[in-house]
Amino acid sequence: MSNQDNQTRWQSAMMNNYGTPQLTLTRGEGAVVTDAEGNRYLDLVTGIAVNALGHAHPAIVAAVTEQVATLGHTSNLYINEPALTLAERLLELSGVAGGKVLFCNSGAEAVETAFKLTRRTGRTKVIATDGGFHGRTMGALSLTGQPGKRTPFEPLVPGVRHIRYGDVAALEAEIDDETAAFVVEPVQGENGVVVPPHDYLRAARELTSRHGALLVVDEVQTGIGRLGSWFAFQQAGITPDVFTLAKGLGGGLPLGACVAVGETASLFEPGQHGTTFGGNPVCCAAALAVLDTIETEGLLEQVSTVGKELREGIERLEHPMVLGVRGRGLLLAVLLREAVSAKVAAAAQRAGFLINPVQPDVLRLAPPLVFGREQAGEFLAALPGVLDATTEED
Ligand code: PMP
């Protein structure tokens, strides 16, 4: 089957969510994927910042194979060892005292869990941010601050106010003693890798504490090493009341988590929230392999080093189409002078690189955490040619 043939099949069999995809991917190894026609690509999309260890990492293959042959599913009516160990590991790595974990299957579900938890405070007002992305289920969408995604589905959950991202004064003006929570991404991923001022999370911590509101940090995209630390809130030197994880956590298997700290962790009474597949042992075994490999292969340091090289390399380019670069670790964005990101991504694809046009004038680079210096160099060497090829097409 060619990519083209599959496109036709896709159009008649699958609902269109992001637009018709061009490529059928058939294999992956490390940071390289292969399509149905045998073309190879260096993968800087990584299943939307998901495959933390790249594709088909031997540690994940071994962990999943063993677990699926031992015990594939239990539900939460029973304890399973991988989920229990994973919860303990996450609490240990995050350094939160008295934390507790609820596992689910996606980022949106982790956010839904956090949102429902905020209702258990007895307050209903929640503050979120313009441009923020928290998922597409009705609750998560209510927190999402992107009008194009919200409007077709209104009315959404009431009580959510959106304020300017990165603006401490805006939060100070909106937050009050009726506020249940402030929900925020450490870096806005889907909005184009928007990095807030350095002291933003610290100020948010201070203001939420002052008003007895929960600080909910959505680490679905930034957590599990992507910014060069286990969790982005650690870089700000704060502890949230709740944080959400998904994407990189399962290394490619569907797994989300909502972690709550202190008294917040006990706000649900038995029977108030749950999900059949949450904490599935196969997904949790994969996640344990992700955490172990990040440690044994020193990937947090590697993400910081390679991320810095990528960033500086793009800064040095001085290509007329490029306005600049932003982001941290291996969550970076190339800012374009014009809204041509889809064309640049298409030119990159022809040259053997997958990159994501996350906003019309922003390209997101989110390679796997195992992305090496050589691979970064390969991408940097090709980028000027990719940009030139885009110009020629216009
Ligand atoms: N929160 C954030 C910060 C995200 O980036 C995303 C996904 N892009 C989500 C939530 C939703 O995750 P999912 O697509 O797994 O539901």
ipTM: 0.99
The per-residue pLDDT for range 49-68, each reduced to its tens digit, is: 999 999 999 999 999 999 99
Amino acid letter, residue 338? E
Structural tokens at position 252? 């490619």
Amino acid letter, residue 203? A
- The helix/strand/coil state of 104 is strand
- Which of 112, 204, 213, 124 minimizes the C-alpha distance to 165? 204
Q: Which atom of ligand 1 is nearest to the CA of 221?
A: 5
| Region of 327 on the Ramachandran plot (φ > 0 left; ψ -120 to 50 alpha; else beta) | left
Question: Does 185 contact ligand 1 (Cβ within 6 A)?
Answer: yes
Q: Is-contact 268 101, C-beta < 8 A?
A: no
Backbone phi and psi for residue 164, each to the nearest 5 degrees, phi listed first:
-60, 135
Mean pLDDT of the chain: 97
Domain with CATH 3.90.1150.10 in the chain: 3-56+298-393
Q: Annotated binding site for pyridoxal 5'-phosphate: which residue ranges?
A: 107-108, 133, 218-221, 276
CATH of 59-296, one of 3.30.200.20, 3.30.70.2860, 3.40.640.10, 2.40.30.170: 3.40.640.10
pLDDT of residue 98: 87
CATH of 3-56+298-393, one of 3.90.1150.10, 3.40.50.10800, 3.40.50.720, 3.40.640.10: 3.90.1150.10
The per-residue pLDDT for range 316-363, each reduced to its tens digit, is: 999 999 999 999 999 999 999 999 999 999 999 999 999 999 999 999
Domain with CATH 3.40.640.10 in the chain: 59-296
Report CA(219)–ligand 1 centroid distance (Å).
Answer: 9
Q: Record the pTM.
A: 0.98
pLDDT at position 394 over 50: no
Backbone phi and psi for residue 181, each to the nearest 5 degrees, phi listed first:
-165, 155
Q: Annotated binding site for N(2)-acetyl-L-ornithine: which residue ranges?
A: 136, 275
Q: Which atom of ligand 1 is nearest to the CA of 189?
A: 5
pLDDT of residue 297: 98
pLDDT at position 34 over 70: yes
pLDDT of residue 276: 96
